[in-house]
Amino acid sequence: MKQSKNIFSRSPFLANVTKLLSVNVLVQIFAFALSTIITRLYSEDDFGLLAKFMSIASIFVLFGTLRLEFAIILPKKEQEANALMSLGFLFSLLSALLSFVVLYFCSHHLNTYFNINSVQDWIFIMPFTIFFIASFNLLINYKNRQKKYNEIAAGQVVQGISNPLTSYGFNGIINYGLIQALLLANFLGSLYLGFTLLNKKVFNSSSNLKQVLQKYYRFPTFNLSHALINNVSSSLPVFMLSPVFENYFIGLFTMAIGKIFKPIHLFNNVIYQVFSKKIVDDVHLNKDVSKQFKKVVFTLVIIGIVPFTLMYFFAPEIFSFVFGKKWFQAGVYIKLMLPWLFMVYLCGSFSFVPNLFRQQKNAMLIEIVYLLLRFGALTYGISKSSLEIALSAYAWTGVFMLIFTLLWYYYLVKYKKIEDE
């Protein structure tokens, strides 16, 4: 097997990572600065409502693309990638319409379960939010395939800046300002990225859509099932704790997780967008990429160890100082979750590995085990009537499962070959 050249010695890789990372860091600095004001304008209940809105919407987003956005990077033929884009947009529209029907007929039941009285007000907001989030995901992955990193960066700037700006602007003017801002941000990001494709004939694919869907069947079957299980698993704290603990505490927890997840998600996305394309190309050329995998993991550990250590010791004080005294408890929750968040940071950039090696079924089985363990962890905390015990058990379950997952990823890149369709 050929050896893959050191990606850190190749200027295009570092240049593309630096380009995307620098732009996203500037956006996040701006968003973070504005969030110190936003957390004082909106209540803990407002952030709790946003979390519950996204818990529902994220499920429809998954159905919206059938996970085909992650297949876009894989085909050797451009026609197949274009067909996957067309399928993704078609199913996104259908999923948005389905969400309208579900909210129309089930709003009372959802209100009762989540202990709120807002779902009926989301009946028009949610379908548009679902469609534009799904569209943004499709467009970002298509741009990644094309290596259009300038356009990816610009699209992320549009989305990343418009969200906090409109959250600030909507306060006191319209209801559900945080939710409306989320909708507008994804609309503007999708509009920009979609505008750059107007002359590309992306949807004029000569490939048969049915045949392409059959070829990439693992994505709408195993990968989608995996994603749905992961979504439910990730949302378990909201789903299981909402009926037991007040919305105030759910708002504190979800706001805190959101603030930490944003920079983690940013960093993971940058590495994923550049590293995944490089690895896919090298594996297609039968090159050994395991050394590059280890080097990226090691680099991520070195980069992350200092900020995560500081956050572990000073999270409550940092949250209280930056966001206001009422958010001190949010910092306590973050401290409990930090070991798990560190493993999320390490693993997130490599989520494409099972897709590349056609291991979606095994990834789904691992996720099922993860879900069951998380359910048990939260049940234990609820039985003790302690939110802190529930979150701590949830976090350490995640630590051990993600260590196993990272080792499995390394096994795949070291020993597996791409199976022919």
Residues 300 and 310 both lie in one domain? yes
In a domain, 256, yes or no: yes
Residues 102 and 202 both lie in one domain? yes
Residues 212 and 233 both lie in one domain? no
Residues 206 and 223 both lie in one domain? no
Residues 159 and 227 both lie in one domain? no
Question: How many structural domains comprise the chain?
Answer: 2
Residues 204 and 272 both lie in one domain? no
The last residue of one of the domains, among 165, 194, 216, is 216
Print the domain residue range for 8.
Answer: 1-13+217-421
The last residue of one of the domains, among 171, 198, 216, is 216
Predicted confidence pLDDT, tens digits, the chain (421 residues): 555 555 555 556 666 666 676 776 777 778 778 877 888 888 878 888 888 898 889 889 988 888 888 888 888 788 888 889 989 999 999 999 999 999 989 888 888 877 778 788 888 999 999 999 999 999 998 988 888 878 888 888 899 889 889 998 898 788 889 999 999 999 999 999 988 776 666 666 556 888 888 888 888 888 788 888 888 888 888 888 877 877 777 777 777 787 788 778 777 877 777 777 778 778 777 788 888 889 889 988 998 999 999 999 998 898 888 887 888 888 888 899 999 999 999 998 888 888 888 888 899 999 999 999 999 999 999 998 888 899 999 999 999 999 999 999 999 988 877 654 4
pLDDT in tens, 292-346: 889 889 988 998 999 999 999 998 898 888 887 888 888 888 899 999 999 999 9
Please give the pLDDT value at position 17: 66
Contact present, 370 and 401 (Cβ < 8 Å): yes
pTM recorded for the entire structure: 0.68
Please give the pLDDT value at position 176: 87
